[in-house]
Amino acid sequence: MTDLAHIRNFSIVAHIDHGKSTLADRLIQATGTVQDREMKEQMLDAMDIERERGITIKANTVRIDYRADDGETYVLNLIDTPGHVDFAYEVSRSMRAVEGSLLVVDSTQGVEAQTLANVYQAIDADHEIVPVLNKIDLPASDCDKVAGQIEDVIGIDAHDAIRVSAKTGEGIHETLEAIVHRLPAPRGDAAAPLRAMLVDSWYDAYLGVVVLVRIMDGVLRKGDRVRMMQNGSVHQVDRIGVFRPMMAVVDALGPGEIGFLTASIKQVRDTRVGDTITHEKRGCDTPLPGFKPSQPVVFCGLFPVDSAEFEDLREAIEKLALNDASFSSEMETSAALGFGFRCGFLGLLHLEVIRDRIEREYDIELITTAPSVVYHVFMKDGEVIELHNPADMPDLTYVDHVEEPRIRATILVPDEYLGDVLKLCQDRRGIQLDLTYAGPRAMVVYDLPLNEVVFDFYDRLKSVTKGYASFDYQLTEYRADNLVKMSVLVNEEPVDALSMLVHRDRAEMRGRAMVEKLKELIPRHMFKIPIQAAIGGKVVARETLSALRKDVTAKCYGGDVSRKKKLLEKQKKGKKKMRQFGRVEIPQEAFISALKMDE
């Protein structure tokens, strides 16, 4: 066990692409934690999707030994966190396990929306923060301006910010010295009863569940019987170790240390993130202040394109849920799409990542229905229903009102695109709360309904600002609004996969866009097909798909016109009958395209 004064626990926080994972690589390399022949780019991003998209999804940890200039050897525990808003949950719990943060800001880009969000989490967790200006090797780098921005926008003293190029390795030694001398050592009592915080857990095919822990007080040894305080389950510890990124087994973990334990646990669900682990016999009385379990924000249906693959999809979803506690699913059926699952996600990127993983790792082609959010439906008899799927909306005569989730969105945007951003937010029923300037960029704070954001807000924001805007949000509250369920009818049959909740003022516009799109996508049949968007019994938009016409008069050569009329009348009757009994086949591609709405 290491002496507390020689331990430093810290995380690296920053906006997406400001160089967190590259800086972690250089720290690992400079201290010789990994031999050069084993070194690779983004050492801590292990998943294929992380490496391919160049983003961090899971927070990862590594233990580094560093011999400082004062001759002492220090143990540094580093947690590399994701920068994307959907994975802010990973960031918040990593923060609780460490005492300090390196705030990495790109010296060519300056402070972005996500920088703010992550720094505020670090400040909430009472961290000592060391600012680091990265990418000083680029010609566009302007350290003084960015340091000024950090002081103005965040309010942290940045005159002695460390200047680093994580790519070339310049400034890495100064960073390591700052970690040792400017960040505080952890506190803890080795003689007290064991209190360990469960930071993360994932499933390993050979070891069972691997649990990442931060020891606050007491000592954890191999062979100990430990109790999870939230669900009371008791396990015997098989092995204890630390990550140097590879697993290295140790005999014991003392206060202030971060490591892992395995105890033949079968289900990741048994290891709730934020739980407190203590000894079975001599346990602590009060658990550590936990953090809230992650709440899914966006829901959508996942259906296999080939319905024979449903069992494979069930297996894939169960395996993914083993590794990702923030992803939830339940079975559902749809008349149009067959059997599938209704899944909850932390945001749209989380949804994309899970969908990509199912398609890639399990080779199943998927259809995703329109993403929707959780609504609270207040009935007239006082009952409150959580509505995940717009198709399940109860009859409006029994509904008193519907509340939708609202978010507080922070957008940082260059001045010349400000007008377009304000117009976009107003179009999405936004309420402006604040507008300030940080240098040449405007910082706009809006109160927006989440269901307007999950659809395609982020794509629209990127296109109106040519990619220069950065966007971050957090859920604030549920608020009542004039929301109605819009159903889509094809040949007078409702298509449940296309129903959605919309604001009454925008229902006609949304409905018209949807039916026009479906008219192009559904192939023509032998009979006329009406496509309608309706609210309750009232049709708000309609298009008619004309019929394919067979030339029944081709065999008439000359003769009386009444013969032709007779044949055409007969055809007309046949079509009328066909329309009553005919089934409209809507191809799968039509569903997918119809759900991708472009305003």
Q: In 10 A of CB 307, how many CB atoms?
A: 12
Task: Flag whether 288 is in a domain.
Answer: no
* pLDDT tens, residue by residue, 32-86: 666 665 555 555 445 555 555 555 555 578 888 888 888 888 888 887 766 565 5
C-alpha torsion sign, points 517, 522, 526, 530? negative
SS3 state of residue 470: strand
Give residue 280's identity as a one-letter amino acid code. Answer: E
Based on the fold, state whether residues 110 and 223 are members of the same structural domain: no
- CB burial of residue 597 (10 Å; 0-12, 13-18, 19+): middle
Looking at the whole model, is its pTM more than 0.85? no
User: Could you tell me the CATH number of the domain that includes residue 349?
Assistant: 3.30.70.870
Q: Decide the pairing of beta strands 195-204 and 276-279.
A: antiparallel
What is the predicted pLDDT for the residue at 599? 42
Residue 551 lies in a domain: yes
In this structure, are 445 and 508 located in the same domain?
no
Q: Tokens 């989440």 belong to which residue?
A: 450
Instruction: Please indicate if the annotation marks 20 as binding a ligand.
Output: yes
Q: For residue 289, is it within any domain?
A: no
Residues 276-282, mean pLDDT to the nearest whole number: 83
Structural domain contains residue 291: no
Specify whether 401 is located in the same domain as 496: no
Query: Domain tally for the chain?
Result: 5
- Whether 137 has a binding-site annotation, put simply, is yes
Domain boundary among the residues 250, 279, 308 is at 279
Q: What's the CATH code of the domain at 477?
A: 3.30.70.240
- 333 and 477 assigned to the same domain: no
Q: Is 21 assigned to a binding site?
A: yes
Q: pLDDT by residue (tens digit) across 393-428?
A: 888 788 888 888 888 888 888 888 889 989 988 888
Which CATH number do you get for residue 10?
Answer: 3.40.50.300
135 has binding-site annotation: yes
The answer to whether residue 187 sits within a structural domain is no
Say whether both 62 and 160 belong to one domain: yes
Contact criterion met (CB below 8 Å) for 242 and 257: yes
Query: Does the annotation flag 18 for ligand binding?
Result: yes
State pLDDT tens for residues 354-404: 888 888 888 888 877 777 788 888 888 888 888 877 777 888 788 888 888
pLDDT for position 598:
46
Do both 16 and 124 map to the same domain?
A: yes
19 in a known ligand binding site: yes
Q: In whole angstroms, give the CA distance from residue 90 to residue 416.
A: 34
Helix spans in 428-530 (H)? 450-464, 504-521
| Strand bridging mode 208-217 / 220-221 | unpaired
Question: Quick one: 337 and 399 in the same domain?
Answer: no
**Maximum CA pair distance of the chain?**
112
In a domain, 18, yes or no: yes
- 72 and 53 share a domain? yes
DSSP, collapsed to helix, strand or coil, labels residue 574 as: helix
Is there a binding annotation on residue 367?
Answer: no
Residue 199: give its domain's CATH number: 2.40.30.10
Which range marks the domain in which residue 174 is found?
A: 4-182
Residues 311 and 421 reside in one and the same domain:
no
pLDDT tens digits, 531-569 = 899 987 889 899 888 877 777 777 777 777 888 888 888
Low-confidence winner among 234-243, 298-307, 585-594 (lowest mean pLDDT) = 585-594
Tens of pLDDT, residues 450-503: 888 776 677 788 788 877 777 777 778 888 888 888 888 888 888 777 787 888
Given a contact cutoff of 8 angstroms between Cβ atoms, the answer to whether 392 and 385 are in contact is: no
106 and 251: one domain? Answer: no
In a domain, 285, yes or no: no
**412 plus 472 within the same structural domain:** yes
Identify the domain boundary among 152, 182, 212. Answer: 182
Q: For residue 521, is pLDDT > 70?
A: yes
Within-domain flag for 290: no
Any idea what the CATH number is for the domain that residue 537 is in? 3.30.70.2570
Q: Domain boundary at 466, 481, 496, which?
A: 481
Query: Do 310 and 439 belong to one domain?
Result: no
Q: In this model, does residue 353 exceed pLDDT 70? A: yes
Q: In what order do the strands lie in the sheet with 128-134?
A: 60-67, 73-80, 7-13, 100-106, 128-134, 162-163
